[in-house]
Amino acid sequence: DPSSQRACTIGGNIAENSGGPHCLAYGVTTNHVLGMEVVLADGSITWFGGKGRDYPGNDLRGITVGSEGTLAIATKIVVRLLRIPETTKTMLVVFDDVETASSAVTGIIGAGIVPAAIEMMDHFCIEAAEAAVNAGYPEGAGAVLLVELDGLNESVEEESEEIESICREFSPLEIREATDPEEREKLWAGRKGVLGALGRLAPNYYLVDGTIPRTKLVDVLRQINELSERSGYKIANLLHAGDGNLHPSILFDERKPGDTENILAIGAEILKICVDAGGVLSGEHGIGLEKQEQMPFMFTEEDMAAMTLLKIAFNTKDSLNPGKIFPTGAACGDISQARAIARVGPGAYI
């Protein structure tokens, strides 16, 4: 399900406990991994979990999923298979602005409907996607919602009618629907092509990954827009809106002196906004090297020390992905975000 599906591996999905557009209804990686063969830091090979849904003893599988490769390396993975749904329907709903689109999302979820996916793109994303894939969004489109429903024919039909009537309360510019796979693919084309398309607006973008309570969408997006205006950097907003997972993408030019430092600072500010709104530092991309310095936004030194004890329990001697996730200094500041990303190399901003 991750949008990086063509490039990523299941091992990487496990390390990051990845999600994607459909995790609103289906959950994230940990909900689909039953067991895995792992190599521990001392070179020994063992299994965490197995082929069944529940496994006796501590849930070492659950602890390892999302540990960003710091506890063990997964070498075989048993996943839970799901039936292909009888019907899948995709709806594209176009609004004037993100505020109205966000209210429609709240309306849908508030009505007790949990679609398989609710994705949102703002006007910068629409502009880029339109130029790249000619998605045919109407003039004046300020926000696009992609809603996907799947399941039994009858329930999909009933829920799509309900969603349409909720969306109509917010005066959409257009509603399109498709059940045919090719037509559905066309509706998804703008969303799936948007990250590459951002290259039409700026040479680089830095995609931030934070999650907020869905009820705070309007307020947080307003704060991000204010930050964009204050800083002079355009921020394109792409959201897994159903579960409040934001991907504000800061547009910049790494050849301009100071741009990289500035956008990293803006990214940190966005994460602070997310945490202050009751959200979290990451929706699906993890912490890695990039967000170590922001860990104290959410966790106390005691919290982090407690989490670090896991490495001792796994006896990793910090040989597996050393230096990742936790700030390494007592003051949590010795690995600067800029240095961390510089280590990864220019261009690695997504």
CA 145 – CA 175 distance, rounded (Å): 10
For 316, the token pair is: 């990793």
341 binds ligand FAD (CB under 6 A): no
Q: Are strands 73-79 and 87-95 parallel, antiparallel or unpaired?
A: unpaired
4 binds ligand FAD (CB under 6 A): yes
| Among 68, 130, 259, 290, interactor with ligand FAD by CB under 6 A | 68
Q: How far is the CB of 15 from ligand FAD (least distance, A)?
A: 3
61 binds ligand FAD (CB under 6 A): no
243 binds ligand FAD (CB under 6 A): no
Q: Which is nearer to ligand FAD, 49 or 142 (CB)?
A: 49
| Among 13, 204, 211, 316, interactor with ligand FAD by CB under 6 A | 13
Q: How far is the CB of 48 from ligand FAD (least distance, A)?
A: 12
Binding mask 191-220 for ligand FAD (x = CB under 6 A): ----x-------------------------
CA 237 – CA 220 distance, rounded (Å): 11
Nearest to 237 by CA among 101, 135, 44, 345: 101
Return the range that interacts with ligand FAD (CB under 6 A); candidates 6-14, 96-104, 310-318, 329-337: 6-14
CA 35 – CA 285 distance, rounded (Å): 22
CA angle 49, 55, 61 (to 5 degrees): 35
Q: Which is nearer to ligand FAD, 23 or 143 (CB)?
A: 23
Q: Edge-to-edge strand order for the sheet containing 33-39? A: 45-49, 33-39, 73-79
Nearest to 304 by CA among 329, 322, 267, 321: 329
Query: Which residue's structure tokens are 């849904």?
Result: 53
| Among 6, 8, 22, 182, interactor with ligand FAD by CB under 6 A | 8
Q: How far is the CB of 157 from ligand FAD (least distance, A)?
A: 28
15 binds ligand FAD (CB under 6 A): yes
Return the range that interacts with ligand FAD (CB under 6 A); candidates 68-76, 94-102, 109-117, 255-263: 68-76
Which residues in 313-332 contact ligand FAD (CB under 6 A)?
Answer: 321
Given a contact cutoff of 8 angstroms between Cβ atoms, the answer to whether 264 and 337 are in contact is: yes
- Torsion on CA atoms 132, 136, 138, 141, rounded to nearest 10: -40
284 binds ligand FAD (CB under 6 A): yes
| Residue spans of alpha helices (H) in the chain | 10-16, 23-26, 60-64, 98-110, 123-133, 153-168, 181-197, 217-231, 259-276, 295-298, 301-313, 337-344
For 314, the token pair is: 């796994």
C-alpha 204: how far from chain center: 19
Q: How far is the CB of 66 from ligand FAD (least distance, A)?
A: 10
Q: Give the total of residues touching ligand FAD (CB under 6 A).
A: 23
| Among 3, 102, 294, 337, interactor with ligand FAD by CB under 6 A | 3
Return the range that interacts with ligand FAD (CB under 6 A); candidates 5-13, 50-58, 80-88, 274-282: 5-13
Query: By the criterion CB under 6 A, which residues form the site for ligand FAD?
Result: 2-4, 7-9, 11-13, 15-16, 18-20, 68-69, 73-74, 195, 284-285, 321, 350
